[in-house]
Structure 1
Amino acid sequence: MTSPLLLGIDIGGTKIMACLYDSDLTLLAATSVPTPASEGGDAMIAAACAMGETLALDLGGESGSGLGATLTEAGKAWAETHAGETPNIAAIGVGAAGLIDSENGVVTAASDSFQGWAGYEVRSALQHWRDVPVAMENDVNAFLIAQMANRPQSEQRRSVLGLMLGTGVGGALWLNGGIFRGTGYSAGEIGHIPGFDDVPCTCGARGHLEGLAGGRGIARLWHEATGGDEDTREVGDLARSGDERALALWDQAGDSVAKAVAICQSLLDIDEVVIGGSVAKSWDLLEPAIRRGIEAYPVPIAREVAIAHADDGDDTVARGAAASARLLL
């Protein structure tokens, strides 16, 4: 039997990604497919299991997706070292959009882009495929776990806020050495905190952080100001070229994030904020605005907070889910 491997699965609104890791969270193999979100939970889990089979076959040198096409360089080296051995998937981790009951491995709520997902028992379904421990997390929790996993002791932080600035704004909390999920598994989700101007939010309310710092909100504000249909990345390019209206939107987004950080400092005495997502890919625009806001909204009783750009690779959510699964071994 080979050393235990971890299967990390990221179930998002547009794609499902499956990744195999060794016990040190080194990525060995990865693949993805479009999410069959309209076909229900059974279809999504079937797709994830099929990818898991493919990864294991490729890593074992059999005919999975085609001659090890899913393998990383580390995976090829692993396969060579363990030639003739059957890969041993010892635990599975899932990171998924929506509210997740991580204790029972159940989706408690999901957006209307998913059919038959709310209430779905993910852990039970996966254990019909492989009778191994299964960890399940909200995707933003998994993102933050990925940032904290394998950090040297000297770099560990006690209280960390994770922010995912993507289409919307997601949040997660790392307190006293682990994810804090809250009674309803929604702790840290600060995207819908009110008090941020009076702009419409994607949820239908007004004045939420997501309306100013989420990708959809930035694009909408740009359209209202200019009539243009550029996406957030293109608005970023315009800001770099000196467009004052685009620069103002990035300043506003960073300032809003800083206000949210000040709230969390006051409540939780956080000492680090880790920021990722598609909006944060324009870090050269966002970071200066956040730091200006941090200076403008000091919290006298709190320590200085570190601002970090996340290690935000394609497999981040899957890696964080795998790190959660590692704790079950």
Structure 2
Amino acid sequence: MEELLKFAPRPTGAGEMFQLLRDGRPRTRAELATVTGQARSTIAARIDSLVSLGLVTPSGEATSTGGRPPSTFAFNPAARVVLAVDLGATHARLAVTDLASRVLAEHEEPLAIADGPAQVLARVVELGSELLDKAGATHRDLAGVGVGLPGPVDHATGRPMNPPIMPGWDGADVPGTLQRALGTTVLVDNDVNVMALGEHRTAWREATDLVFVKVATGIGAGIIMDGNLRRGAQGAAGDLGHIRVPGAGDVPCRCGNVGCLEAVASGQAVANALRAAGAPVASSADVVALVRAGDLDASHAVRQAGRDIGAVLAATVSLLNPSVVVVGGILADAGENLLAGIREVVYQRSLPLATQHLRIATAHTGAEAGVLGASAMAVDAVLSAPAVEALVS
């Protein structure tokens, strides 16, 4: 980070200086003075302010070059906690994490998003309070809340926008409802964006350009470009599931169009096709179970779903040129069948330059991607330079 700062504007406030410490490496006052170009007295005053907030803590002494060894200071992730909430079509997964997104307590249970915002958010508040207690924290320790929802979200307001599988949620004030109940900052985004953030921060930090594809009840993508999440003008970037698949015919989609990727290659679409052929399946999880049991029809169906996804992803790869495509969601648990179909088509149809060093891999974080991303989203907000500066002032 210090090398980058040689070519960037130097930190001017306590909030900006704090960003240097977020990597967890202990530093002396002298090191911080060298990097920032500020007087040691200024650095000392800012360190004292950050220590009083609990965000920075003394971490021992550096090696002496003569005289008394200088004290070092480091980021203190245990200063506060955040509540991370991952809501899917049929599940709720919550976790309390520290400020480094390390999970301290977590819980998962079935919960139908179609039950509506009043019932679902009331349960989130109830579970969040229970998890805080389990983690040995109180509402006073709660620095922020991050929420992922299974539908389009206006990130600026945190309100769902015409979500197709969330009846009663259109325009619902999710941040306001949770903030009134929990008394802290609340950030809300589309679940796939949140999962992309979690996977990127956990497993692919070195990849500045990444596309995360979730294949579950629906299909969507989260886009990381130049190291940052890209949401698009209205937050609709990455909506792979409603791109028409070449040769898909007139298969109806819940969005009102026909031939959409979600209608032919989602976990539910595969389950419907197998059930129509006589297989005892009702859900994506049933499809995964059949594949793991060695059922050839299920394996072939999942591989074909991969090919259909690959047909849409090929254009995405040529357009965005990511270095990594990560595939998550429950259907990714079916193993190599899905990835094999995706790779088969993407490497065949995308531009050779775009696929020369492209990696297509299964998500490392699995079911944890959503809560890890929700935590990272909340942490980024509450530990941003302006937010910390406001606390110090």
Structure 2 distance, partners of 1:172, 1:36, is 23
8 Å contact from structure 1 (residues 60, 87) kept in 2: no
Q: Which amino acid aligns with 1:325?
A: A
With 242-251 and 186-195 compared, the bigger mean Cα shift is at 242-251
Structure 1 distance, partners of 2:275, 2:195, is 30
Would you tell me which structure has more helix in proportion to its own residues?
A: 2
- What does the per-residue CA deviation read over 1:242-294, in whole Å, with 9 as the maximum and x for residues that have no partner? 65543432231121122222111221112211101111101222222222223
8 Å contact from structure 1 (residues 275, 308) kept in 2: yes
Structure with higher RCO (Cα < 8 A, 6+ apart): 1
Q: Does 1:7 align with 2:86?
A: no
Q: Does 1:31 align with 2:84?
A: no
Structure 2 distance, partners of 1:251, 1:313, is 20
Structure 2 distance, partners of 1:88, 1:156, is 32
Structure 2 distance, partners of 1:193, 1:264, is 11
- Give the equivalent residue in structure 2 for 1:70: none
Q: Which amino acid aligns with 2:150?
A: A
8 Å contact from structure 1 (residues 262, 298) kept in 2: yes
Q: Secondary structure at the match of 1:327?
A: helix
Alpha-carbon shift at residue 112 of structure 1 (Å):
4.9
Alpha-carbon shift at residue 194 of structure 1 (Å):
0.7
Structure 2 distance, partners of 1:208, 1:57, is 44
Matches within 5 A, 1:1-329: 3-35=79-111, 37=113, 40-60=116-136, 88-115=141-168, 117-151=169-203, 155-196=205-246, 197-198=248-249, 200-203=251-254, 204-224=256-276, 226-231=277-282, 232-235=284-287, 245-304=297-356, 305-328=358-381, 329=383
- What does the per-residue CA deviation read over 1:89-127, in whole Å, with 9 as the maximum and x for residues that have no partner? 111101111111111121222235533x11111111222
8 Å contact from structure 2 (residues 261, 309) kept in 1: yes
Structure 1 distance, partners of 2:364, 2:181, is 31
Q: Which has the larger radius of gyration?
A: 2
Structure 2 distance, partners of 1:247, 1:313, is 20
Q: Percent identity?
A: 27
8 Å contact from structure 2 (residues 81, 97) kept in 1: yes
Q: Which amino acid aligns with 1:209?
A: L
Alpha-carbon shift at residue 192 of structure 1 (Å):
1.1
Alpha-carbon shift at residue 195 of structure 1 (Å):
3.0
TM-score (norm 1): 0.82
With 295-304 and 117-126 compared, the bigger mean Cα shift is at 295-304
Structure 2 distance, partners of 1:167, 1:150, is 24
Structure 2 residue runs of 5 or longer lacking an equivalent are 1-53, 55-77, 384-393
Structure 1 distance, partners of 2:317, 2:213, is 14
TM-score (norm 2): 0.70
Structure 1 residue runs of 5 or longer lacking an equivalent are 62-84
- What does the per-residue CA deviation read over 1:145-174, in whole Å, with 9 as the maximum and x for residues that have no partner? 10011457xx52222111111012121111
Structure 2 distance, partners of 1:7, 1:239, is 35
Alpha-carbon shift at residue 40 of structure 1 (Å):
3.4
Alpha-carbon shift at residue 238 of structure 1 (Å):
5.2
Structure 1 distance, partners of 2:108, 2:303, is 35
Q: Secondary structure at the match of 1:311?
A: coil
